[in-house]
Structure 1
């Protein structure tokens, strides 16, 4: 039997061949998507619209104290005002303080805006703080201590102490076991002799002891006291104390 195909019958057959799979695909696709895989036991659960990834955890506000510490750590720190010199060697030199020393186990320490020198002898010690000047030189065991805009000088003595505070001046020149102490804008001086003491306190007060041994001068309230030119002299002004 001879078969013949007309154009219309060929078109119908083509439509059936193509349309069939398309229809099957159109019907079967939703079912396949909605059903679990029919493969060899896939244990994975299909994702649903209700499964959502967890929201990222947001960092809470920073503690103000912690933030302040972090900020302070990032800021440039001020340079400390400190200088230390020992036995002719500078150990610390920072800020606007200056300290110098000579060999001989001499020690100088300076603070804010101050200058300290120790040398010219053995075991001399000078310390100055708060815009002051201290100088301990010559002899053995001279101590000079100046604080708060003051000047202290201990020179050429043996175990002598010059101490000045609050805008005062204390000076010792020579001798043994001499002491000069000045406070509150006063001046105390010891020169010559041994075991002399000059003490001054108060603006304008002046005390001088020396040129002898075991002399003691004490001045206060802007007065003058002079215990010099002899031995074992004791002078205190004003007589009877401040009025």
Structure 2
């Protein structure tokens, strides 16, 4: 079964920089995106906007055996194995990435009460970055502070790739956030940003993916059991 993973690890800056320049290649790995972490809602000019000591990797694999081999045998995999990762089953996508052209719009059924992992990936139009920051940073804070998330972060790979990753207690809570139906301050921040994106796109390409978490491994900043049970 094709499986997706999202990894978080604290690495040497030089290791992160190499992975951003050239993602790993290993048997069974069909796609990998390596990114430096950002703190959601951080000031635009800030060390927190690109943290080379903290790396994320979003990946697609032939099967779980390929994941295990990477973590045990690949030099980067052994370092990533000291961090945390979640293994995931693909459920749904909005829009499409050239790097993942064969994913259907929807795969299978789900329960609105089950936990979910959301991943977005975008290739920015560089001249639209000021507009994106204006509309995107309020959404970052909305997701970061939302009572429905157990973990929310963003990451980037210069010059134009950005990503967000969030774990939600339930699909219902995530969808309520998307549509502005949550009892939090300024609940329509996400909906307003999507209207602005449709008016004039910030990105060359943009996709949102929804996954069912299957298992989590390791710890992140001393946290375990980040996936809701």
Instruction: Tell me if TM exceeds 0.5.
Output: no
Larger radius of gyration: 1
Taking CA–CA contacts closer than 8 Å with sequence separation of 6 or more, which of the two structures ends up with the larger relative contact order?
2
Indicate the TM-score class for this superposition, using the shorter chain for normalisation.
Answer: under 0.3
> TM-score scaled by structure 1?
0.22
Higher helix content, 1 or 2: 2
